[in-house]
Amino acid sequence: MNNNSLIFLSGFMGAGKSTLGKQLATELGYFFIDLDSYIENKNNKSIVEIFQEIGEPEFRKLETTVLEDCINGHIKTVIALGGGTPCFNNNIDLILKSGLMIYLQLDAKELYNRLEKAQFTRPLIEGKQKQELENYIADLLKNREPFYNQAQLIVNAKETTVAELKETVSKMV
């Protein structure tokens, strides 16, 4: 880990990366970046529009470029990653060597409960019916866990508080 004090919040869609990330940044007196918002602002388009226009493989290239920009241009920053960011283009290696990666862990059932109500801004799950969505989440989580589990810190996203997270993180950065 280098000493630029970068903290990456990772986890599945719906894990609370942006919400908790923002709160953690405030607690630590750090800057905050939401990678999805950064991509949207840079391209003047929503993530849904970007997926529609260029498709997922090109989105992943864009995501990697923006991740590199964020890492190179910032210190003392909490970066909320997209759910897929650590799982493509060897981004995981860059993340792990650039700062502290935290995995906000939730099980598939809890993720389903959260995502059922929040499908429409997320192109990967938009329009999926109940059973299909449940299966999709379970399968994708299984595929992604080997990446998420490489995080230096794994916390239960349902139980952890910002105060606890700040306490733990302060000792690690």
- 99 touches ligand S3P (CB under 6 A): no
**What is the nearest approach in angstroms of ligand S3P to the Cβ of residue 167?**
25
Gap between the Cα atoms of 41 and 47, Å rounded = 10
Closest to 45 (Cα-Cα) out of 123, 116, 125, 127: 123
Q: Rounded to the nearest 5°, which phi and psi values hold at 127?
A: 80, 0
**What is the nearest approach in angstroms of ligand S3P to the Cβ of residue 98?**
19
- 21 touches ligand S3P (CB under 6 A): no
Stretch 22-81 residues interacting with ligand S3P (CB under 6 A): 36, 47
By C-beta, is 1 or 54 nearer to ligand S3P?
54
Stretch 126-165 residues interacting with ligand S3P (CB under 6 A): none
**171 secondary structure, DSSP code:** T
User: b/e for 47-77, b at 16 or more Cβ within 10 A?
Assistant: beebbeeeeeeebbeebbebbeebbeebeeb
Strand partners, 130: none
By C-beta, is 7 or 47 nearer to ligand S3P?
47
Two structure tokens written together for 128: 């999926």
Q: Among 21, 83, 86, 99, which residue interacts with ligand S3P (rule: CB under 6 A)?
A: 83
**What is the nearest approach in angstroms of ligand S3P to the Cβ of residue 53?**
14
Number of residues that bind ligand S3P (CB under 6 A): 10
Q: Which phi-psi region, left, alpha or beta, contains residue 14 (left: φ > 0; alpha: ψ -120 to 50)?
A: left
- 13 touches ligand S3P (CB under 6 A): yes
By C-beta, is 63 or 169 nearer to ligand S3P?
63
Chain residues that interact with ligand S3P, rule: CB under 6 A: 13, 17, 36, 47, 82-84, 122-124
